[in-house]
């Protein structure tokens, strides 16, 4: 049996200085991993049947929660809905569920005690202090993980401060296919936040709108240069000037676009987002159109299982009633979403098309 790994880290909020204990994960196991473990221990059940049962359990728990019940799995966990938020008077309406509805998960004491009795621990050496970029947000569009030429890019995290006059210290934006730009237009540089007007390097083709961002700094005059890279890709908005020429979308560093926008029906120039989510249960990709607000309106989902043309319907009050797309490299898109985007990728489309 492996050990639970941990390391001490400084707690800068205490005087005198103290340290807190941080658990270090060896790996991240998913539903398929659990199914394989169960099948190995119980050979009378095959992995496919176990996967079906595990996913059915999730659906059953969700159904009970939607029915307003608390769900308890004896000896393991309990789930219950809860609400958070503030009302200025008892007659105020409930805030939107995106902001107020939570699901609480509590682990039963016997489950925890069984882990404690069998666990063995391993101490790791203290890690080096590094810049940590936790979020990246385009402030003008108010969208996360979007790199917009207009407006300000906001980076938040820890240990982000650097002196722009220090050699090699700075902030770097790189295209995943090619192109590098050292940033110079800073509004604010603080340990917990950097505000900058981004200089975005060009890439060979317009559908190559995928970038990484990193911060490098020295924490002392003679200190080693430390670099932290944001763990998610940033994507620039894609401009569509007409539907006569196809527009490549939803692609990474590939030489040819995975998906093409081929046409549509709009009543006026507008902006929207197109999102693709990987459905592991059916090994398919689910496309939908969305408005420009996180957690906002979305159109009907369209399930895609291979190359070919599709029509996506708009969301309520959308100026785009339909958009026509064509998937040209389904396997490439699926692999990119799974390997680089944790199961979901979104492109911002600036539709500057005049209605016909």
Cβ–Cβ < 8 Å for 338, 355: no
Burial of 6 (0-12, 13-18, 19+ CB in 10 A): middle
Architecture of domain 132-235: Distorted Sandwich (2.70)
pTM score, whole prediction: 0.67
Cβ–Cβ < 8 Å for 354, 269: yes
- pLDDT tens digits, one per residue of 285-342: 999 999 999 889 999 999 999 999 999 999 999 999 999 999 999 999 999 999 999 8
How far is Cα 13 from Cα 8, in angstroms, rounded to an integer?
Answer: 15
Q: How many CB atoms within 10 Å of residue 276?
A: 25
Q: Tell me the pLDDT of the chain averaged across its residues.
A: 93
- Of 126, 129, 125, the C-alpha closest to 218 is 129
Cβ–Cβ < 8 Å for 214, 352: no
Cβ–Cβ < 8 Å for 346, 234: no
What share of the chain in percent tops pLDDT 70?
A: 99
**DSSP line for 109-163:** HHHHHHHHHH--EEE-PPPPP--EEEEEEETTTTEETB--SSS-EEEEEES----
Question: What 3-state DSSP class applies to 57?
Answer: helix
pLDDT mean over 205-214 = 97
Residue 356 pLDDT:
67
- pLDDT tens digits, one per residue of 23-34: 888 888 889 889
Is residue 124's pLDDT more than 90? no
Phi, psi angle pair for 175, to nearest 5°: -75, 145
- pLDDT tens digits, one per residue of 35-45: 999 999 999 99
Residue 274 pLDDT:
98
Name the maximum alpha-carbon separation found in the chain.
71
Cβ–Cβ < 8 Å for 155, 135: yes
Q: Which residue has the higher pLDDT, 14 or 321?
A: 321
Phi, psi angle pair for 144, to nearest 5°: -80, 150
How far is Cα 119 from Cα 284, in angstroms, rounded to an integer?
Answer: 39
How far is Cα 115 from Cα 23, in angstroms, rounded to an integer?
Answer: 15
Cβ–Cβ < 8 Å for 303, 279: yes
Architecture of domain 4-85+98-123: Irregular (4.10)
Residue 12 pLDDT:
60
How far is Cα 225 from Cα 214, in angstroms, rounded to an integer?
Answer: 13
Give the ranges where 43-122 is alpha helix by DSSP (H).
47-66, 97-100, 109-118
- pLDDT tens digits, one per residue of 222-244: 788 999 999 999 999 999 999 99
> Cis peptide leading into 16, omega within 30 of 0?
yes
> What b-and-e string marks burial along 156-189, b requiring 16 or more CB atoms within 10 Å of the CB?
bbebbbbeeeeeebbbbbbbbbeeebebeeeeeb
The contacts of residue 196 (CB under 8 Å, 6+ apart) are 152, 153, 155, 171, 183, 185, 186, 187
- pLDDT tens digits, one per residue of 125-153: 876 788 999 999 999 999 999 999 999 99
Residue 281 pLDDT:
85
What residue ranges do the domains of the chain occupy?
4-85+98-123, 132-235, 238-351
Residue 98 pLDDT:
85
pLDDT mean over 6-17 = 76
């Amino acid at each position: 049996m492996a050990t639970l790994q941990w390391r001490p880290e400084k707690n800068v909020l205490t005087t005198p200085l103290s340290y807190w204990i941080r658990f270090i994960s060896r790996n991240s196991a998913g539903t398929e991993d659990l199914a394989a473990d169960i099948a190995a221990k119980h050979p009378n059940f095959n992995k496919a049947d176990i996967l079906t049962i595990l996913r059915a359990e999730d659906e059953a728990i969700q159904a009970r929660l939607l029915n307003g019940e608390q769900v308890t799995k004896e000896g393991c966990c309990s789930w219950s809905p809860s609400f958070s938020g503030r009302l200025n008077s008892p007659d105020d309406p409930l805030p939107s569920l995106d902001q107020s509805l939570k699901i609480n998960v509590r682990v039963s004491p016997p489950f925890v005690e069984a882990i404690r009795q069998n666990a063995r621990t391993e101490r790791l050496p203290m890690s080096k202090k590094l810049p940590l970029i936790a979020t990246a947000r385009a402030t003008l569009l108010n969208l996360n993980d979007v790199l917009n030429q207009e407006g300000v890019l906001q980076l938040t995290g820890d240990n982000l401060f650097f002196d722009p006059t220090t050699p090699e210290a700075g902030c770097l934006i790189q295209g995943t296919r090619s192109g590098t730009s050292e940033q110079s237009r800073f509004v604010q540089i603080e340990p917990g936040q950097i505000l900058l007007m981004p200089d975005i390097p060009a890439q060979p083709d317009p559908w190559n709108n995928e970038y990484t961002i990193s911060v490098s700094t020295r924490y002392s005059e003679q200190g080693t240069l430390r670099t932290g890279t944001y763990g998610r890709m940033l994507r620039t908005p894609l401009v569509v000037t007409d539907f006569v020429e196809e527009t490549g979308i939803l692609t990474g560093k590939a030489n040819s676009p995975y998906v093409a926008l081929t046409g549509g029906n709009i009543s006026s120039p507008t902006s929207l987002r197109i999102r693709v989510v990987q459905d592991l249960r059916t090994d398919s990709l689910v496309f939908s159109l969305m408005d420009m607000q996180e957690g906002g309106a979305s159109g009907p989902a369209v399930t895609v299982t291979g190359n070919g043309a599709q029509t996506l319907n708009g969301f309520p009050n959308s100026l785009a009633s339909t958009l026509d797309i064509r998937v040209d490299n389904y396997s490439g898109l699926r692999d990119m979403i799974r390997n680089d985007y944790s199961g979901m990728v979104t492109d911002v489309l600036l539709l500057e098309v005049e209605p016909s």
